[in-house]
Amino acid sequence: MDQDLCLVWLYGVIDGVLRSIGRVRQRGPAPELTDAEVLTIQLWGEIWGLPNDASVWRDAPTNLHGWFPNLCNEWNFVRRCGSLAKVMDWILASLFGPTKDWNAFDGLPLPVCRNIRAARDRRFGGEAAWSFCAAKNEMYYGFKPGMLMNSCGEIYRLWLGSANVDERQMLHGIVFDMPGLLFADKGLISPELVLALVERGTDLVTPFRRNMLDMRPQWVVAQAMRLRRLIETAFSRLTDGFSVARTKGRDFWRWSARVRRKVLSYNLLMRFERCVAVI
């Protein structure tokens, strides 16, 4: 991947979104290192696997000083990265959205520590919880984001909550303005949920359990589930390439901001790769 081309493209996209949003700062003079530049450096570091904002800042003078000569000191850069966390939510909502053909939903278990340390963990003030991970067949302590992915492979909406929250409650909170099909797994089987989503214009498609009568053509259900598994591929890339399962934070706000940043970085990298493939 051409790093310079990716950096220029990333800055252009972020600067364009911030200009469309309007004034982000409420008062005070404009800093020499603009908000678009701070977000570009931060997301650039996330794409290249740097673990935190301080590591991004330490890498920037070596690799990015020619592009950003007004780089501020470490404390100021880390502080501004935290202040701009909400802006990343605006960027995610502005750039990525549902597709009209189909979308997919799934939950991603994210433990915050090893099980043996959970009893003495005090970082999240009772917000984390115990739950069961079916993929690994084990209990874990932490959170479980529910994520929506469109047919382009982009995760455009997520709901962050404790691990023991029912995924059906997640869907109630994040499904809106989504016409078309929504693929999910067996855990989302619920007649009440299906009717609630139909009222919003969304048709929920899930496989049935073995003891349930399914009158739908099997090839239709099989194709729907093959498409749904693409979100598991996205989760694997988030886990392996962006280390979303090893996200650290001393409270839920910082932890959730880092998860959203990793999702945004993943989406931007996916879109850049498609743009390069077209060229």
First and final C-alpha spacing in the chain: 13
Long-range pairs for 57-61: beta carbons < 8 A, 24 or more residues apart: none
Burial 26-38 (b: 16+ CB within 10 A, else e): eeeeeeebbbbbb
Q: pLDDT value at position 163?
A: 92
* Rama region for 27: left / alpha / beta (φ>0; ψ in -120 to 50; rest): beta
Q: In degrees to the nearest 10, what's the CA dihedral of 66, 67, 71, 77?
A: -140
Kindly report the average pLDDT of the chain as a whole number.
88
**Where does the pLDDT of residue 1 fall: very low under 50, low under 70, confident under 90, or very high at 90 and above?**
low
pLDDT of 23 strictly over 80: no
The segment with the largest mean pLDDT, out of 154-163, 204-213, 248-257, is: 154-163
**Where does the pLDDT of residue 105 fall: very low under 50, low under 70, confident under 90, or very high at 90 and above?**
very high
Helix axes 252-278, 3-21, angle to 10 degrees: 120
Q: pLDDT value at position 125?
A: 75
The segment with the largest mean pLDDT, out of 23-27, 139-143, 214-218, 222-226, is: 139-143
Q: Which of 192, 181, 242 is closest to 216 using CA atoms?
A: 181
pLDDT of 60 strictly over 90: no
State whether residue 206 is helix, strand or coil. coil
The mean pLDDT of 122-146, rounded to a whole number, is 88
**Where does the pLDDT of residue 279 fall: very low under 50, low under 70, confident under 90, or very high at 90 and above?**
low
pLDDT of 35 strictly over 70: yes
Residues 6+ away with beta carbon under 8 Å from 178: 98, 103, 148, 200, 201, 202
Cα 186 to the center of its chain, rounded Å: 22
Domains assigned to the chain? 3-94 (no CATH), 97-246 (3.30.420)
**Cβ proximity of 183 and 224 under 8 Å:** yes
